[in-house]
Structure 1
Amino acid sequence: MTHQDDIENKLVAARTWLIIDKPFLGALVLRLPLVEADPKWCHTTATDARSFYYNRDYIKALSFEQTKFILAHEALHCALSHFARREHRHKRRWDLACDFAVNPLLMADGLTPAPDALILDAYKDMTAEEIYPCIQENADEEPMDQHLYDQDDRPHGSGDRDDGEGGRGEEQTDDNGGSHGEPDAQAGGAPQPPPLSTPERDSLDKQWQQRLASAAQQAMQAGKLGGSMARMVDHLLQPQLPWRMLLAHYMTRASRNDYSFAHPSRREGTAILPGLRSQHIDLLVVLDTSGSISDDEMQEFLSEVNAIKGQVGARITLHSCDEKLAAEGPWIFDPWEDVKLPGKLPGGGGTRFTPVFEWAEWQDRAPDLLVYFTDARGEFPKIEPSYPVLWLVKGKEKVPWGQRIQLN
Structure 2
Amino acid sequence: MTDIENKLATARTKLILDKPFLGALVLRLPMRAAEPKWCATSATDAKHFYYNPEYIEALNVDQVQFVLAHEALHCALSHLTRRQHRNKFRWDLACDYAINPLLLEEGLTPPPNVWIPEGTEGMTAEEIYPTIEENDSDEPMDKHIYGDNQQEQQNLETQWQQRLAGAAQQAQQAGKLNGAMARMVDHFLQPQLPWRMLLARYMTMMARDDYTYMRPSRREGSAIFPSLRSSQLEIIVALDISGSVTDKEISQCIAEINSLKGQMRARITLLACDYKLAEGTPWIYEPWEDFSAPGKFQGGGGTSFKPVFECVEQMQTPDLLVYFTDAKGEFPEQEPNYPVIWLVKGKAKVAWGQRIQLN
Q: Evaluate the alpha carbon distance shift between residue 404 and residue 66 of structure 1 in structure 2; reply closer, same or farther with a 3 A threshold.
A: closer
Aligned to 1:367: 318
Deviation at 1:376, TM superposition (A): 6.1
Match for 1:94: what amino acid? W
Aligned to 1:240: 192
Most deviating of 389-398 and 24-33: 389-398
Q: Evaluate the alpha carbon distance shift between residue 293 and residue 112 of structure 1 in structure 2; reply closer, same or farther with a 3 A threshold.
A: farther
Deviation at 1:67, TM superposition (A): 0.8
Task: Let me know the Cα RMSD of the aligned residues.
Answer: 3.8
Q: Evaluate the alpha carbon distance shift between residue 220 and residue 367 of structure 1 in structure 2; reply closer, same or farther with a 3 A threshold.
A: same
Structure 1 residues 300-315: aligned runs within 5 Å: 300-315=252-267
Aligned to 1:337: 290
Q: Evaluate the alpha carbon distance shift between residue 247 and residue 97 of structure 1 in structure 2; reply closer, same or farther with a 3 A threshold.
A: closer
Does the Cα contact within 8 Å between 2:241 and 2:297 map onto a contact in 1? no
Match for 1:72: what amino acid? A
1:311 counterpart SS class: coil
Quote the Cα distance in structure 2 between the aligned partners of 1:230 and 1:341.
Answer: 45
Q: 1:32 aligns with which of 29, 44, 47?
A: 29
2:157 counterpart SS class: helix
Aligned to 1:7: 4
Query: Is 2:235 aligned against 1:283?
Result: yes
Q: 2:70 aligns with which of 68, 73, 76?
A: 73
Quote the Cα distance in structure 1 between the aligned partners of 2:52 and 2:69.
Answer: 16
Aligned to 1:179: none
Quote the Cα distance in structure 2 between the aligned partners of 1:217 and 1:341.
Answer: 52
Does the Cα contact within 8 Å between 1:231 and 1:397 map onto a contact in 2? no
Quote the Cα distance in structure 2 between the aligned partners of 1:245 and 1:209.
Answer: 23
1:318 counterpart SS class: strand
Q: Evaluate the alpha carbon distance shift between residue 39 and residue 232 of structure 1 in structure 2; reply closer, same or farther with a 3 A threshold.
A: same
Quote the Cα distance in structure 2 between the aligned partners of 1:246 and 1:140.
Answer: 34
Quote the Cα distance in structure 2 between the aligned partners of 1:61 and 1:144.
Answer: 15
Quote the Cα distance in structure 2 between the aligned partners of 1:399 and 1:27.
Answer: 35
Does the Cα contact within 8 Å between 1:32 and 1:52 map onto a contact in 2? yes
Match for 2:160: what amino acid? W
Q: Evaluate the alpha carbon distance shift between residue 399 and residue 231 of structure 1 in structure 2; reply closer, same or farther with a 3 A threshold.
A: farther
Match for 2:109: what amino acid? T
Quote the Cα distance in structure 1 between the aligned partners of 2:323 and 2:120.
Answer: 26
Aligned to 2:223: none
Quote the Cα distance in structure 2 between the aligned partners of 1:238 and 1:325.
Answer: 38
2:4 counterpart SS class: helix
Quote the Cα distance in structure 2 between the aligned partners of 1:366 and 1:69.
Answer: 50
Does the Cα contact within 8 Å between 2:335 and 2:352 map onto a contact in 1? no
Q: Which runs of 5+ in 1 are unaligned?
A: 151-159, 161-196, 261-275
2:161 counterpart SS class: helix
Quote the Cα distance in structure 1 between the aligned partners of 2:196 and 2:57.
Answer: 51
Match for 2:320: what amino acid? L
Does the Cα contact within 8 Å between 1:232 and 1:396 map onto a contact in 2? no
**Percent sequence identity over aligned pairs:** 56
1:365-385, CA deviations, whole angstroms, 9 ceiling, x for partnerless residues?
Answer: 332333334566764664662
Aligned to 1:189: none
Give the count of matched residue pairs: 339
1:35 counterpart SS class: strand
Match for 1:19: what amino acid? I
1:70-95, CA deviations, whole angstroms, 9 ceiling, x for partnerless residues?
Answer: 11221122223221122233434433
Query: Is 2:154 aligned against 1:202?
Result: yes
2:80 counterpart SS class: helix
1:170-216, CA deviations, whole angstroms, 9 ceiling, x for partnerless residues?
Answer: xxxxxxxxxxxxxxxxxxxxxxxxxxx11111122233334444445
Aligned to 1:317: 269
Q: Evaluate the alpha carbon distance shift between residue 78 and residue 9 of structure 1 in structure 2; reply closer, same or farther with a 3 A threshold.
A: same
TM-score (norm 1): 0.67
Quote the Cα distance in structure 1 between the aligned partners of 2:274 and 2:182.
Answer: 27
Match for 1:134: what amino acid? I
Aligned to 1:19: 16
Does the Cα contact within 8 Å between 2:168 and 2:177 map onto a contact in 1? no
Match for 2:195: what amino acid? W
Match for 2:179: what amino acid? G
Q: Which runs of 5+ in 2 are unaligned?
A: 213-227
Q: Evaluate the alpha carbon distance shift between residue 24 and residue 292 of structure 1 in structure 2; reply closer, same or farther with a 3 A threshold.
A: farther
Q: Evaluate the alpha carbon distance shift between residue 83 and residue 339 of structure 1 in structure 2; reply closer, same or farther with a 3 A threshold.
A: same
Query: Is 2:35 aligned against 1:83?
Result: no
Match for 2:80: what amino acid? F
Query: Is 2:99 aligned against 1:112?
Result: no
Q: Evaluate the alpha carbon distance shift between residue 375 and residue 361 of structure 1 in structure 2; reply closer, same or farther with a 3 A threshold.
A: same
1:82 counterpart SS class: coil
Does the Cα contact within 8 Å between 2:44 and 2:145 map onto a contact in 1? yes
1:335-394, CA deviations, whole angstroms, 9 ceiling, x for partnerless residues?
Answer: 323321652254664554x6545543432x332333334566764664662x55445455
1:62 counterpart SS class: coil
TM-score (norm 2): 0.75
Most deviating of 202-211 and 35-44: 35-44
Does the Cα contact within 8 Å between 1:123 and 1:131 map onto a contact in 2? no
Aligned to 2:58: 61
Aligned to 2:220: none
Most deviating of 55-64 and 115-124: 115-124
Quote the Cα distance in structure 2 between the aligned partners of 1:309 and 1:16.
Answer: 56
Does the Cα contact within 8 Å between 1:94 and 1:132 map onto a contact in 2? no
Aligned to 1:173: none
